[in-house]
Amino acid sequence: MMKRVLFVCLGNICRSPTGEAVLKRMIQENNLSHLLACESAGTAGYHIGERPDHRTRAHGEKRGYRFDSLAQQFDPKKDFEAFDLIVCMDRSNLQNVLRLDLTGKYRDKVKLLMEFAIDASNLEVPDPYYEGAEAFETVIDLCENACRGLIHSLAR
Ligand code: 4NP
Banded pLDDT at 156 (limits 50, 70, 90): low
The helix (H) or strand (E) run that includes residue 37 is strand 36-42
Q: Which domain holds residue 101?
A: 3-154
Give the Å distance between the CA of 59 and the centre of ligand 1: 16
End-to-end CA distance of the chain: 10
Q: How confident is the model at residue 1 (pLDDT cuts 50, 70, 90)?
A: confident
Q: What is the pLDDT of residues 59-96, one digit of tens each?
A: 999 999 999 999 999 999 999 999 999 999 999 999 99
Give the number of the atom of ligand 1 that is nearest the alpha carbon of residue 71.
Answer: 5
What CATH number has the domain bearing residue 150? 3.40.50.2300
Provide the number of structural domains found in the chain: 1
Residues belonging to the active site: 9, 15, 127
Q: Dump pLDDT digits (tens) for 34-57.
A: 999 999 999 999 999 999 999 999
